[in-house]
Structure 1
Amino acid sequence: MRIFMTGASGWIGTGVVPHLLAAGHEVTGLARSDASASALESAGATPVRGGLDDLDVLRAGAAASDAVIHLGFKHDFSDFAASGRTERAALETFADALEGSGRKLLFASGMAGAENGRPLTEADQSPHVGAESPRGGAERFALDLTARGIAPVSLRFAPTVHGTGDHGFSATFVRIARENGVSGYIGDGSQRWAAVHRDDAGRLVSLALEKAPGGSILHAAAEEGVPTKEMAEAIGRGLGIPVDSVSTDDAQDRFGFLAGFFARDLAATSTATRALLGWEPREIGLLEDLEQNYADRAVRTLV
């Protein structure tokens, strides 16, 4: 199939593209810069210049494709409302281009915002509705596109997608620990985070393109819930530094804007996803990765 993909040169996307190409698909990826375009070419994909705000480029890419995989997102935490509006506009553009075609629209979503005292399941709906809600209410909007002759598939990625080259949450917590000389967690550290290795996430997306029916919600979660205290302890062991508990009042000073995320319980199951796709994670777990690989890279930056 001819795949049009946003976020193809991003953290998750670079784990997806090799699996798509290995399955025999042709990938055209949105590239905001010369560096991104070069990276896509090196990976075997065809770049098309543009960003998420270039709606004409998105429309043309979707119209010329057999399926769209939308992984791009503006992670601007200083203006998350604007990021949500961009996300909603991108999905509306894809919907216009794909309407009535029966083609698949796979799109990245998150697991935050649905805490209910138990692990999130694929049967749980996103609580975000409307263009002014977080992420522009993208999941609820996109899943309703079945009525317009489109096959939407929500890809809910675990809050930490880890692996070599990560510059997201996990890498940031390691950096903060190194800079402070102590690895911290908030409160009693019982908050749990679902986790998945990037390569396992990449295989899941390729399988979803092949097997997931329209209207599906999939969970890219290899581990249901890793306690944040255990995450901090793994980082501490790897860096050879002490571990401490940080009070809620002091969390902002230690973790910055990430404090609000680190204090939340973001566990999620993937039982239905595994049954539907035949997906089984194969890669290293989060704690082992944090202790051995993240900490090793952090230490080597000091010498």
Structure 2
Amino acid sequence: MRVFLTGATGFIGSAIVQELIGAGHQVLGLARSEAAAQALVAAGATAHPGSLDDLDSLRRGAAATDGVIHTAFVHDFSDYAGAGAMDFRAVEAIGAALAGSNRPFVITSGTALLPPNRLATEQDAADPASAGAPRVPSEEAVLALAAQGVRSAVIRLPPSVHGPGDHGFVPALIRVAREQGVSAYIGDGLNRWPAVHRLDAARLFRLALEKGVAGSRYHGVAEEGIPIRELAGVIGRRLNLPVVAKTPEEAAAHFGWLAYFLELNSPASSLLTQQQLGWQPREADLLTDLAQGDYFQA
């Protein structure tokens, strides 16, 4: 299968490139710069010039391939609503190019848009009042494409997709600990984040592309929920810093933009995903990765 992949040089996308090529697929990767194009060619893929806001380039990429995996997203949390709107326009453009073809279209979403404070499953609809609200329209649009002849699927990823090269929430939490001189959590710290290794996530994207059922929601979750207090404890030990609690009132000043996500209590299950796609996480868990990986390299 020839696959159009957005976000192909990103943390997750670059792992998907290798997963797809290793399984015998060809990859056409969206490249917004010459450096990105060169990286894709070096990885064994073909570069497709364009960007997330160049809708014509997205349509051309989708039209020229047998299926699409969409992982690109502008992670600008100072304008999260704007990033979500851009993503929605990209999803609409790709979906229009695939309509009536029965080709697969797999997009990235997040467990943060699910109802909080209970174990969420794949059967849960996205919550417009959730922390992930800006991404809800994209998820709903993709699921609706199943009625338009697209084998569409959503993969919800947890706040922590970890592994070498991670530049997401956990590295941000480590940076805050270094800057503030303490490793902190909010309240009692018993709120939980699910997690998955990037290589396990990449394998799930391939399986959803190959075997996914139209209109399906899948969860890329290896660990249902890690208490934030445990995460802060590992960071404190590795940095030789005190581990302290911050009140909700203190959180914004201490953590900045990260406070909003650090207060999430969003455990999630992937039982149905594992049953339906035969996906089995097999890489290191988050706390093991923290202990053995490069998260604390200067």
Give yes or no for TM over 0.5: yes
SS in 1 for 2:189: coil
* CA distance in structure 2 between the partners assigned to 1:88 and 1:295 by the alignment: 32
Task: Give the deviation of 1:135 after TM superposition.
Answer: 2.1
2:94: which partner in 1? 94
- Contact preservation (8 Å) 1:156, 1:218: yes
- Contact preservation (8 Å) 2:126, 2:136: no
Once structures 1 and 2 are overlaid, which stretch shifts more, 155-164 or 30-39?
Answer: 30-39
Residues paired across the two proteins, number:
295
- Contact preservation (8 Å) 1:159, 1:266: no
**Which one-letter code corresponds to 1:56 in the other structure?**
D
2:268: which partner in 1? 268
Taking the TM superposition and a 5 Å limit, the aligned residue runs for 1:135-154 are 135=135, 137-154=137-154
1:59: which partner in 2? 59
1:41: which partner in 2? 41
**Which one-letter code corresponds to 1:147 in the other structure?**
A
- Contact preservation (8 Å) 1:186, 1:248: yes
- Contact preservation (8 Å) 2:116, 2:264: no
* CA distance in structure 2 between the partners assigned to 1:95 and 1:277 by the alignment: 23
2:249: which partner in 1? 249
* CA distance in structure 1 between the partners assigned to 2:135 and 2:211 by the alignment: 26
1:31: which partner in 2? 31
Q: Is the aligned partner of 1:16 residue 2:16? A: yes
Task: Give the deviation of 1:261 after TM superposition.
Answer: 0.5
Task: Give the deviation of 1:165 after TM superposition.
Answer: 0.6
- Contact preservation (8 Å) 1:106, 1:155: yes
Taking the TM superposition and a 5 Å limit, the aligned residue runs for 1:88-127 are 88-127=88-127
Task: Give the deviation of 1:295 after TM superposition.
Answer: 4.5
- Contact preservation (8 Å) 1:237, 1:291: no
Q: Is the aligned partner of 1:238 residue 2:238? A: yes
Distance 1:42 1:277, change over 3 A: same
- Contact preservation (8 Å) 2:2, 2:28: yes
* CA distance in structure 2 between the partners assigned to 1:117 and 1:235 by the alignment: 24
2:182: which partner in 1? 182
SS in 2 for 1:78: helix
Task: Give the deviation of 1:128 after TM superposition.
Answer: 3.2
**Cα shift readout 1:130-187 (whole Å, capped 9, x = no counterpart):** xxx6126111111011111111110101111001111110111111112222111011
Q: Which runs of 4+ in 1 moved over 6 A?
A: none
Once structures 1 and 2 are overlaid, which stretch shifts more, 38-47 or 183-192?
Answer: 38-47
- Contact preservation (8 Å) 1:109, 1:155: yes
Task: Give the deviation of 1:52 after TM superposition.
Answer: 0.4
**Cα shift readout 1:198-239 (whole Å, capped 9, x = no counterpart):** 111111111111111111111000000000000000111112
SS in 2 for 1:79: helix
**Which one-letter code corresponds to 2:16 in the other structure?**
V
Q: TM-score, normalised by structure 2?
A: 0.96
**Which one-letter code corresponds to 1:61 in the other structure?**
G
Gaps of 5+ in 2: none
- Contact preservation (8 Å) 2:151, 2:212: no
SS in 2 for 1:86: helix
**Which one-letter code corresponds to 1:91 in the other structure?**
V
Gaps of 5+ in 1: none
Once structures 1 and 2 are overlaid, which stretch shifts more, 174-183 or 214-223?
Answer: 174-183
Residue identity (%): 49
Distance 1:87 1:287, change over 3 A: same
* CA distance in structure 2 between the partners assigned to 1:296 and 1:63 by the alignment: 43
RMSD of aligned residue pairs (Cα, Å): 1.4
1:220: which partner in 2? 220
Once structures 1 and 2 are overlaid, which stretch shifts more, 236-245 or 189-198?
Answer: 236-245
Q: TM-score, normalised by structure 1?
A: 0.94
**Cα shift readout 1:232-271 (whole Å, capped 9, x = no counterpart):** 0011111222111011111111111010100110210000
